[in-house]
Chains A and B, each alone.
Chain A
Amino acid sequence: AQSVTQLDSQVPVFEEAPVELRCNYSSSVSVYLFWYVQYPNQGLQLLLKYLSGSTLVKSINGFEAEFNKSQTSFHLRKPSVHISDTAEYFCAVRRSNDMRFGAGTRLTVKP
């Protein structure tokens, strides 16, 4: 079965600074990749996904992630973060009917 590793449990960053949240997965076959965001006291929301095609996928609020097959990574980036981006971010990998989530990265944006 595949596994998902989010390399940073917490990422503190100042407002308007760039940020990268790292995600690596292990799987010997093709997978689908997802980033979910969980704001305080809320459920998970799908941020973006990679199914096929262009390896760079973007969300409506400025986040982007790039699928790198050779490095088995799907890192999430944003060039300039806002206070409102403070949340828990989960990377997820799906192969067939098996969906696995990473441990999560808590992004804290400071003024």
Chain B
Amino acid sequence: SAVISQKPSRDICQRGTSLTIQCQVDSQVTMMFWYRQQPGQSLTLIATANQGSEATYESGFVIDKFPISRPNLTFSTLTVSNMSPEDSSIYLCSVDPTGDRYEQYFGPGTRLTVT
């Protein structure tokens, strides 16, 4: 298993600003994922972040808007850039400890409100 923490747990930001979300895992993992959960909706994968390589973004998400860093095997950041109210969501970090996608663990999420 894996224990995941995220910072901040929530934030209220102004339009046009940027927020960086941190994800810390208690063990070394190769595969990390960032998801968005818009109000009342399901999870949508933003990108996959593997250490040592560029993040892979899903359709509809671009690096300029959601830059991701993965400096080591226990840590990652997601930045939400030039925010608009449509970016108001819960952002979730997830890891696959074994690398086989049989089991994914999720962080508690960062609840972002853009005004």
Contact of B104 among A42, A46, A51, A102 (CB under 8 A): A46
Binding site for A on B (CB under 8 A): 4, 41-43, 45, 48, 92, 94, 101-109
Inter-chain contact B101/A43, CB cutoff 8 Å: no
Contact of B106 among A43, A49, A51 (CB under 8 A): A43
Binding site for B on A (CB under 8 A): 32, 36, 42-46, 49, 51, 90, 94, 97, 99, 101-104
Q: A36-B106, A43-B106 are in contact. List 13 more A-B contacts (CB 8 A).
A: A44-B92, A44-B94, A45-B106, A46-B105, A49-B102, A90-B42, A94-B101, A97-B48, A99-B45, A99-B104, A102-B42, A103-B41, A103-B42
**B31 nearest in chain A by CB position:** A97
Inter-chain contact A101/B43, CB cutoff 8 Å: yes
- The answer for the CA separation of A111 and B41 in the assembled complex, in Å, is 27
Nearest chain A CB to B47 CB, angstrom units: 13
Inter-chain contact B103/A49, CB cutoff 8 Å: yes
Nearest chain B CB to A39 CB, angstrom units: 10
Rank and list the top 6 A-B pairs by shortest CB-CB distance, nearest first. Answer: A44-B106, A43-B106, A43-B108, A101-B43, A101-B42, A103-B42
Instruction: Provide the residues of chain B in CB contact with A51, threshold 8 Å.
Output: 102
Give the one of B42, B105, B108 with max A CB within 10 A.
B42
Inter-chain contact B106/A99, CB cutoff 8 Å: no
**A9 nearest in chain B by CB position:** B40
Nearest chain B CB to A93 CB, angstrom units: 12
- The answer for the CA separation of A36 and B105 in the assembled complex, in Å, is 10
CB-defined A-B contacts under 8 Å, sample of 17: A32-B101, A32-B102, A42-B108, A43-B92, A43-B108, A44-B92, A45-B106, A46-B103, A46-B105, A49-B102, A49-B103, A51-B102, A90-B43, A94-B101, A97-B101, A99-B45, A101-B42
